[in-house]
């Protein structure tokens, strides 16, 4: 791995490099979920540090309602911290004589659970007697809360991979992290404005919860806190940075997928296309707002693409990166050499290093420059003191795509076959150079910003 000083994260682009992106196109494919919203705070670090510094303080600040959605809900210091926050929130509600609604939604707590216990379409609802088995407080410990717990997983590959938090219908947080023990590099951003209403509508539609009223019917009290200032001052954590940005074009990008019995590479059409006598079929993908917008972003990039993703196995993405390099676009890719390898083999029949090696060999004569860095080779492979383990990442799990220094997409979607073919995902697109630059300053593992030649 190269020295940190030679590894750019974000390349600064000139205004002339940007005319390819079509905001009207994104507005159309996003099904009306494009509007101007206000990004408040951004933080990076491990899942534990992001929960402690941003998510948990926001939960404790709630006055009426908390919705927490995660893919993985597992025993961990993060889960323990959330449980303590629920007790504090309950005590606050009791002191004011009110009740606060809390909904926790997740897809998995173990591999065995997924394989043996798929859920009905409406989901599995946990009664209070079962909360302690999930590591949640008992009902008597949180008398100030109306807690509901729901799980959805559709066998065999129907993972609900989206992750978000909604507080009082005024704040939305989009983290890349699960509620789990992994020491992975993550990113999260909090926002207010129309994107919150769009997220509430998406949540209500998918989780089919009669308790979640439409956003237009919901009114918070005047004493709802200013969430722009909610954060944790603990110096041992990666503190959220205020974005100090005005409203920016923001698009909520859902990506619902249909469960399938066979991974894509084993379907008859894919198998037949590998025969020498059959022309190779062009790559196709589900036409969801998230995937279609990702395709548009990468296919219209004019100067540079920066991509952080745990894995890269999706053929459409590899084709798009090759096409960008052919146009002369510089591509900087951060990923892992060894993360969820078994999942890659099951869902894609290949691995990230193998796909990247093929991309490298095919792109050597192209106009654009390809730089690939494996987080777990260098940035995540260093020795750290024992008291810093929880807040020091060893793998990359953030999902960030930056195009031409102006459009930044984050959320739950990886650039792998699982996210593109079988899992339910959710992303948010922010059209702001200021937000891109703020993220670049939080990235600690390479050059932060670099002028384009």
The CATH number linked to 334 is: 3.30.870.10
* Range with the poorest average pLDDT among 172-186, 249-263, 361-375: 249-263
Of all helices (H) and strands (E), which one includes residue 188?
strand 184-192
**Most confident of the following: 6-10, 285-289, 380-384, 399-403:** 399-403
**Residue whose tokens read 């703020």:** 438
Mean pLDDT of the chain: 85
Does residue 440 sit within a domain? yes
Q: Rounded to an integer, what distance in angstroms lies between the CA atom of residue 343 and that of residue 346?
A: 5
Query: Mean per-residue pLDDT for 53-81?
Result: 97
Q: How far apart are CA 65 and CA 78, in angstroms?
A: 20
**Is pLDDT at 80 greater than 60 in this prediction?**
yes
Q: Locate tokens 């806190």: which residue? A: 225
pLDDT band at 283 (very low <50, low <70, confident <90, very high): low
187 and 306 inside one domain: no
CA distance 387 to 349: 39
Which string of b and e fits 134-143 if b means at least 16 CB within 10 Å? bbbbeeeebe
* Residues 213 and 312 both lie in one domain: no
CA distance 85 to 61: 10
Given 244, 278, 293, the domain boundary residue is 244
Higher pLDDT, 157 or 160: 160
Q: Are 33 and 252 in contact (CB under 8 A)?
A: yes
Specify if 35 maps to a domain.
no
Structure-block tokens of residue 123 = 């989901």
Q: What is the pLDDT of residue 118?
A: 79
The answer on pLDDT for 281 being more than 80 is no
Last residue of a domain, one of 244, 263, 292: 244
Residue 155: per-residue pLDDT: 77
226 token code pair: 């200013």
Residue 321's pLDDT is 97
Q: Which of the residue ranges 3-7, 29-33, 80-84, 379-383 would you say has the lowest mean pLDDT?
A: 3-7
Mean per-residue pLDDT for 279-289? 73
Higher-pLDDT residue of 331 and 110 is 331
- What does pTM read for this prediction? 0.89
Quote the domain boundaries for residue 135: 40-244
Domain annotation covers residue 337: yes
Q: Per residue in 402-416, pLDDT tens?
A: 999 999 999 999 999
Tell me the pLDDT tens digit for each residue of 115-140.
Answer: 667 788 889 999 999 999 999 999 99
Q: What pLDDT, in 10s, does the model give residues 322-349?
A: 999 999 999 999 999 999 999 899 888 9
Which pLDDT belongs to residue 122? 85
Residues in the chain: 453
pLDDT for the residue 4: 41
Residues 56 and 161 grouped into a single domain: yes
pLDDT at site 425: 96
Could you say which of 212, 244, 276 is where a domain stops?
244
Return the minimum-mean-pLDDT range out of 36-45, 100-109, 178-187, 240-249. Answer: 240-249
453 pLDDT band (50/70/90 cuts)? very low
Judge whether 133 lies within some domain. yes
Over residues 160-168, the mean pLDDT reads 97
**33 within some domain:** no
- Domain total of the chain: 2
For residue 296, what pLDDT is reported? 96
Q: Is 34 domain-assigned?
A: no
d(CA 408, CA 335): 17
């Amino acid at each position: 791995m190269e020295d940190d000083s030679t590894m750019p994260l974000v390349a600064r682009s000139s205004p002339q490099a940007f005319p390819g992106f079509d905001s009207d196109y994104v507005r159309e494919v996003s099904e009306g979920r494009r509007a101007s919203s206000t990004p408040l705070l951004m933080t990076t670090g491990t899942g534990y540090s992001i929960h402690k510094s941003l998510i948990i303080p926001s939960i404790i600040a709630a006055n009426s309602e908390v919705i927490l959605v995660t893919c993985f809900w597992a025993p961990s210091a993060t889960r323990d911290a959330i449980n303590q926050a629920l007790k504090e929130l309950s005590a606050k509600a009791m002191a004011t004589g009110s009740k606060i609604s809390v909904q926790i939604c997740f897809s998995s707590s173990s591999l065995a659970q997924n394989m043996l216990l798929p859920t009905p379409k409406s989901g599995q609802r946990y009664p209070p007697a079962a909360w302690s088995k999930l590591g949640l407080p008992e009902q008597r410990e949180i008398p100030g809360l109306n807690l509901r717990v729901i799980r959805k997983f559709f066998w065999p590959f129907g993972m609900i991979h989206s992750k978000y938090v909604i507080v009082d219908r005024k704040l939305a947080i989009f983290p890349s992290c699960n509620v789990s023990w992994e020491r992975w590099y993550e990113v999260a951003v909090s926002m207010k404005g129309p994107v919150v209403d769009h997220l509430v509508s998406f949540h209500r539609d998918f989780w089919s919860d009669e308790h979640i009223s439409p956003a237009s019917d919901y009114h918070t009290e005047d004493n709802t806190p200013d969430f722009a200032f909610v954060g944790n001052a603990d110096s041992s954590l990666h503190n959220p940075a205020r974005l100090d940005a005005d409203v920016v074009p923001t698009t909520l990008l859902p990506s619902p997928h249909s469960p399938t019995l066979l991974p894509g590479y084993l379907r008859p059409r894919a198998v037949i296309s590998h025969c020498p006598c059959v022309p190779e079929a062009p790559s196709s993908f589900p036409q969801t707002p998230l995937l279609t917008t990702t395709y548009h972003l990468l296919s219209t990039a004019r100067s540079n693409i920066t991509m952080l993703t745990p894995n890269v196995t999706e053929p459409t993405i590899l084709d798009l990166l090759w096409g960008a390099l052919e146009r002369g676009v510089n591509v900087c890719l951060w990923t892992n050499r060894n993360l969820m390898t078994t999942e890659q083999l099951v869902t894609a029949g290949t691995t990230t290093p193998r796909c990247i090696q093929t991309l490298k060999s095919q792109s050597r004569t192209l106009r654009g420059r390809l730089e690939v860095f494996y987080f777990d080779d260098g940035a995540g492979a260093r020795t750290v003191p024992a008291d810093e383990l929880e807040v020091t990442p060893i793998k990359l799990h953030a999902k960030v795509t930056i195009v031409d220094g102006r459009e930044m997409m984050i959320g739950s979607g990886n650039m792998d076959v699982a996210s593109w073919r079988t899992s339910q995902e959710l992303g948010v697109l922010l059209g702001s150079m200021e937000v891109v630059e703020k993220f670049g300053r939080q990235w600690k593992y390479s050059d932060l910003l670099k002028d384009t030649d």
